Amino acid sequence: MESLDIARWQFGITTVYHFFYVPLTIGLAPLVAIMQTQWVRTGDERWLKLTKFFGKLLLINFAIGVVTGIVQEFQFGMNWSEYSRFVGDVFGAPLAMEALAAFFVESTFLGLWIFGWDRLNKKVHLATIWLVAGATTLSAYFILAANSFMQHPVGARLNPETGRAEMESIWEVLTNSTVLAAFPHTITAAWLTAGTFVAGIAGWWMVREKRRGRPEVAEGVYRKGFRLGLWTMVIAGIGLAVSGDFQAKLMFEQQPMKMAAAEAICETPEGGTPFSILSIGDFSNDCENVNHILEIPGLTSFLASGDFNTQLLGINDLQAQYAEKYGEFDANGEVINYVPNLTITYWSFRLMIGWAAFSAALAAAGLWLTRKGRTPDNKWLGTLGLVAIPTPFLASSFGWIFTEMGRQPWVVVPNPNGITDIHMLTADGVTTVQGVGVVAASLAIFTLVYTFLTVIWARLIWRYMVQGAPEIVHDDSPEANPGRDSDPDAPLSFAY
Query: Per the domain annotation, does 309 fall within a domain?
Result: no
Query: Per the domain annotation, does 108 fall within a domain?
Result: yes
Query: Per the domain annotation, does 10 fall within a domain?
Result: yes
Question: Is 292 a residue whose pLDDT tops 80?
Answer: no
Q: Which long-range contacts (CB under 8 A, 24 or more apart) does 282-287 make?
A: 283/342, 283/343, 283/346, 284/342, 285/315, 285/337, 285/339, 285/342, 287/315, 287/342
pLDDT of residue 70: 79
3-state secondary structure 456-488: HHHHHHHHHHHHCCCCCCCCCCHHHCCCCCCCC
Q: Give percent of the chain above pLDDT 90.
A: 43
Residue 16, burial from CB neighbour count under 10 angstroms (0-12, 13-18, 19+): middle
What is the number of domains present in the chain? 1
* pLDDT tens digits for range 40-61: 999 889 999 999 999 999 999 9
Query: Per the domain annotation, does 394 fall within a domain?
Result: yes
Domain limits at 461?
3-255+340-480
Exposure b/e, 239-257, CB count within 10 A at least 16 = b? bbeebbeebbbbbbebbbb
Query: Per the domain annotation, does 435 fall within a domain?
Result: yes
Residue 63 in 3-state DSSP? Answer: helix
What's the whole-model pTM score? Answer: 0.90
Query: pLDDT grade, residue 491 (50/70/90)?
Result: low
Query: Per the domain annotation, does 329 fall within a domain?
Result: no
* pLDDT tens digits for range 116-139: 888 888 999 999 999 999 999 999
Q: What is the residue-wise DSSP string for 199-216?
A: HHHHHHHHHHHHHTT-HH
Query: Per the domain annotation, does 407 fall within a domain?
Result: yes
- Name the least confident of 9-23, 121-135, 448-462: 9-23
Cα 309 to chain centroid, rounded: 33
With residues binned 3-state (H G I as helix, E B as strand, rest as coil), the percentages for the chain, rounded to 5, are: 70, 5, 25
Query: Per the domain annotation, does 143 fall within a domain?
Result: yes
Mean pLDDT over all residues of the chain?
87
